[in-house]
Amino acid sequence: QAGALALSDEEPSRDGAAAASLVDTTDTAEPGEAFRVRLRIAGKFRVVTWERLGPINPDLAPERSDGGYYISGDFNSWTFDRMAPSYSDFGLHTADVRLFEAGGEFQIIRDCSWDQVFHPPSEQALSAERVVGPSSGSEGKTWCLSGRVGDVFRIQFSRAREEGRDVKKLSWQLVSSESVTTKELIARGEGRLFLIGSWDGWEAPRAMNWDGAAYACRVRIGSRGRESFQIQVGGGGAKKLHPSRDDAGPFTPHDLMGPLENDSPLSWTIGYHGADYAESGSAFNVRLHLRNGRFSEVTWEKLR
């Protein structure tokens, strides 16, 4: 872990306890490595230090906790889709990815942590000859499938310990291809759409799923008693749907705009109208409807 507890006791306390703070370090370690940890005390000052004792002894290395591995890319709006682990080949993980838009940039992430990213050494790498990580300095360094709309790729990532070394391998192959447009995928319920909203500061997109008649996603109302949102079309983040007026909803006449590549401040707001009966902790099912294969309206209903 890239961090350590530093102890200090600059101010007196009733129980004599020292304050602790997390200090960044550049140390990284592998299972099986040994360290000597020392606590030094000089009056009111305390400091913790450590030193690596030597190379890894493979015979003493504990069995690695494999954790969960996820794929994140422009096809899923950089959210986390879990890769399926193999039960016959330990350390192997697989994901099938359908491209909603041309391209296909991605990284592999362990346990949904952006501090544990596996990536190529360069930007938009077209081959997987080298896998770097896990690391946190991965921004912009992605693999690229260079696929077309409707292509399905099978991506396999493996991680295993061989003679004390952390060996990572990545591969992908095109398993099927369909001549289809983004609009056609949306019309048949196979589009990639996401809610982005005020509940987390407009940070993490939430996937909308096809329920047989519309794209839907649940929203829980926070302490303010209202939540605002827009709808992102595709995983790239550029194209969005928004209303023609701010704080729009089922009880306020408006038009659905987009998908547009703009940064409009206009959004739908659950709880703006009293008829929503929104309150802190209540949940709503937001639905994006289609008519003749086109986006038509956004509605929501309170869940019991």
**CA–CA separation, 174 vs 147, rounded Å?**
9
Task: Count CB atoms within 10 A of the CB of residue 36.
Answer: 9
Say whether 182-303 and 69-176 share the same fold. Answer: yes
pLDDT exceeds cutoff 60 at 14: no
For 182-303, the fitting CATH number among 2.60.40.3620, 2.50.20.10, 3.40.50.720, 1.10.540.10 is: 2.60.40.3620
Tell me the backbone φ, ψ of residue 261, rounded to 5 degrees: -95, 80
More confident residue, 58 or 87: 87
**CA–CA separation, 264 vs 284, rounded Å?**
24
Q: What kind of architecture, by CATH, is found in domain 69-176? A: Sandwich (2.60)
**Model pTM?**
0.70
pLDDT tens for residues 131-147? 998 998 788 899 999 99
**CA–CA separation, 246 vs 285, rounded Å?**
20
CB 72 within 8 A of CB 118: no
**What's the pLDDT at 45?**
85
Q: Which of 112, 111, 113, 117 is nearest to 139 (CA)?
A: 117
**CA–CA separation, 106 vs 73, rounded Å?**
4
pLDDT exceeds cutoff 60 at 62: no
pLDDT tens for residues 193-231? 999 999 999 999 999 999 999 999 999 999 999 999 999
pLDDT tens for residues 122-134? 999 998 889 998 9
**CA–CA separation, 118 vs 207, rounded Å?**
23
**CA–CA separation, 296 vs 256, rounded Å?**
7
- 233-267 burial, b if ≥16 CB within 10 A, otherwise e? bbbbeebbbbbeebbbbbeeebebbbbeeeeeebb
pLDDT tens for residues 69-101? 999 999 888 999 999 999 888 899 999 999 988
Of 7-16, 121-130, 212-221, 239-248, which gets the smallest average pLDDT? Answer: 7-16
Cα atoms found within 13 Å of the Cα of residue 125, Cβ hemisphere only: 21
DSSP state of 86: P
What is the domain partition of the chain in residue ranges?
A: 69-176, 182-303
Task: Count CB atoms within 10 A of the CB of residue 13.
Answer: 9
DSSP state letters, 4-65 = EEEEE--S--TT-PPEEEEE-------TT--EEEEEEEETTEEEEEEEE-SS--TTTPPPP-
